[in-house]
Amino acid sequence: MTRQCVVGLVGLALLGLLIYPINAQDETDRDPLLDDINTLLGVSPESEPEPVEQESPELLMEFFGWHGFWEVRGGYRVLNDPYQKDMSIMETRFQLDLGALVDIYELRFKGDAIGDLVLEEGDFDLREGNVAFSPLDFMDIKVGRQILTWGTGDLLFINDMFPKDWQSFFIGRDVEYLKAPSDAAKVSLFSDWVNLDVVYTPQFDPDRYISGERISFYCPMVGGFCGQENYMNSDRPNRWFKDSEFAWRLYRNIDNYEMALYGYKGYWKSPAGSDDCAEVQFPDLNVYGASLRGNVGKGIGNVEVGYYQSRENESGNNPFIRNSEIRFMAGYTRELAKDFTAGVQYYLEHTMDWDNLKDNLPIQMPLKDRNRHVITLRLTQLLLNQNLRLGIFTYYSPGDKDAYLRPNANYKLSDNITLEAGANIFFGDYPHTFFSQFHRNTNIYTSLRYSF
């Protein structure tokens, strides 16, 4: 049984125990054997203590909330990919989101039941299953499966070292599924001067990375593409309390500007190494960073930086483990006209000890640039009383000469029904660069969602 199924069953059991009260016996349900024992002991029914009234289920249900949706989503590749099916996505999904407040404890359960025609299987994805409480006025604690995020980027991540679902992102699922869940404990401490978030993950939670199962990609080790028939095996750290992760954020606001410092100790979230057996690996990683976000003119600006310390290849001499890097990002978003906003970002990945990488790289493996530059542009237009949202998000790398476009249209037909259509478009000059390797996975998709 998978870990998320176990956590899901435990979460449902806790919700059931805490929400459904055990009713005291009514007088009409008195046990005759108990009356006989009382008579022998000389205890009359009238001398028994009054039963303590318990809250009825109806009263407890006032603290209980639930909602969810049912969705059908389908999509196809527009180009022939010999390593994948023509269907990029074809699934139905039912999500139930439950919440309860019991005494000082807030319980949350959110799960998706999925029927997947691409993989020809059913699945259950536990998104959240946690309990949150505040033991002190200045402390919040949340334990269990949860969605975690921080940082300042728009679909770009530097200090946000929580798992991402890149497969969902590239095949056309709702963008909310880019954030994958973590099984973690989060402690938040608050003060007038500074706030601190600490997250401990007892077992490494990697990205739901591109493995070839749904999306083909370029494999440097084989000098070609991997897909459903030959996707790579992984050597993932998975020991409880030994292969753990630790992340923290120290932040405060000054005159509407949020400043933050970050730290992380764990592993590369997506494969960043390989061994002699061609198994992909997740080498040790430390990350140290900072960010600043606030008002700039009529818009909002942000700056973020991070140092990625590749602990197993600090010299850069091992071409099979990713080098240490410095990452930088700056962005700006503002409303250009009524219901029309634009956002632009610049992103840099600087490979440290690049000369050592160049000198030791096998001749069959492509050499990446010392500096990888990416520019993003988001345009969003709201129409029809804001019921129709038209948007496009574009990644462009001038050095790699590749790009990724995400056009999308979302129409709210009623309070409950939403229609959506979009595309994932990849292109580039070289088969091994990041976006260009997904060229044949270019797809279009549409969906119908009923929310309740």
| Beta-ladder partners of 381 | 340, 390
The torsion defined by the Cα of 145, 151, 155 and 157, in degrees rounded to 10, comes to -90
SS3 137: coil
Most confident of 9-23, 51-65, 91-105: 91-105
* pLDDT of 98 over the 50 cut: yes
Q: Provide the strand spans (E) within 284-383.
A: 284-296, 299-310, 325-337, 340-351, 371-383
> For residue 135, what pLDDT band results from cuts at 50, 70 and 90?
very high
Residue 294 CB neighbour total at 10 angstroms: 15
Closest CA to 355 of 338, 372, 370, 374: 370
Q: How far is CA 130 from the centre of its chain?
A: 15
* pLDDT of 389 over the 80 cut: yes
The rounded percent of the chain whose pLDDT value lies above 70 is 84
**Cβ atoms 305, 242 nearer than 8 A:** no
Looking only at the bridges linking them, the beta strands covering 217-219 and 139-146 are unpaired
Mean pLDDT of all residues in 385-392 = 97
- Whole-number pLDDT of residue 379: 98
> For residue 381, what pLDDT band results from cuts at 50, 70 and 90?
very high
- Whole-number pLDDT of residue 69: 98
Closest CA to 211 of 273, 158, 256, 166: 166
The rounded percent of the chain whose pLDDT value lies above 90 is 76
Amino acid code (one letter) for 400: D
CA separation for the pair 314, 283 (Å, rounded):
11
* pLDDT of 343 over the 90 cut: yes
CA separation for the pair 341, 382 (Å, rounded):
9
Most confident of 18-22, 41-45, 101-105, 133-137: 133-137
- With a CB cutoff of 8 Å and minimum separation 6, the contacts of 168 are 177, 178, 208
SS3 259: strand
- Fold held by 3-451: Porin (2.40.160)
CA separation for the pair 88, 109 (Å, rounded):
29
Looking only at the bridges linking them, the beta strands covering 234-235 and 280-281 are parallel
- Whole-number pLDDT of residue 64: 64
Mean pLDDT of all residues in 260-275 = 92
- Whole-number pLDDT of residue 364: 82
The CA–CA distances, whole Å, from 43 to 30, 35, 36, 252 equal: 15, 9, 10, 65
| Tokens linked to 429 | 């000059």
Q: Which of 156-165, 218-227, 344-353, 378-387 has the lowest mean pLDDT?
A: 218-227
* pLDDT of 23 over the 70 cut: no
The DSSP result for 64-126, as a single string, is EEEEEEEEEEEEEESS--TTS-SEEEEEEEEEEEEEEEETTEEEEEEEEEEEETTTTEEEEEE
More confident residue, 273 or 178: 178
| Tokens linked to 415 | 């309070």
> For residue 273, what pLDDT band results from cuts at 50, 70 and 90?
confident
Q: Which of 235-239, 395-399, 435-439 has the lowest mean pLDDT?
A: 235-239
Q: Provide the strand spans (E) within 137-211.
A: 139-146, 182-189, 195-201
DSSP 6: H
Per-domain residue ranges of the chain? 3-451
- Whole-number mean pLDDT of the chain? 88
Mean pLDDT of all residues in 168-185 = 97
pTM of the prediction? 0.85
Q: What angle do CA 380, 342, 155 make, to 5 degrees?
A: 80
- Whole-number pLDDT of residue 272: 86
- Whole-number pLDDT of residue 61: 38
Mean pLDDT of all residues in 264-289 = 88
> For residue 277, what pLDDT band results from cuts at 50, 70 and 90?
low
The CA–CA distances, whole Å, from 295 to 115, 229, 255, 432 equal: 44, 50, 10, 39
- Whole-number pLDDT of residue 29: 47
Mean pLDDT of all residues in 420-436 = 96
| Tokens linked to 358 | 């160049």
More confident residue, 39 or 304: 304
Q: What angle do CA 222, 225, 228 make, to 5 degrees?
A: 115
- Whole-number pLDDT of residue 279: 78
SS3 439: helix
- Whole-number pLDDT of residue 227: 83
- Whole-number pLDDT of residue 22: 35
CA separation for the pair 125, 172 (Å, rounded):
17
Q: Which of 13-17, 139-143, 187-191 has the lowest mean pLDDT?
A: 13-17
- Whole-number pLDDT of residue 18: 43
The DSSP result for 144-161, as a single string, is EEE----SS-SS--SS--
- Whole-number pLDDT of residue 2: 52
The torsion defined by the Cα of 241, 163, 224 and 351, in degrees rounded to 10, comes to -90
> For residue 317, what pLDDT band results from cuts at 50, 70 and 90?
very high
- Whole-number pLDDT of residue 275: 64
SS3 317: coil
- With a CB cutoff of 8 Å and minimum separation 6, the contacts of 180 are 147, 162, 163, 164, 165, 205, 207, 208
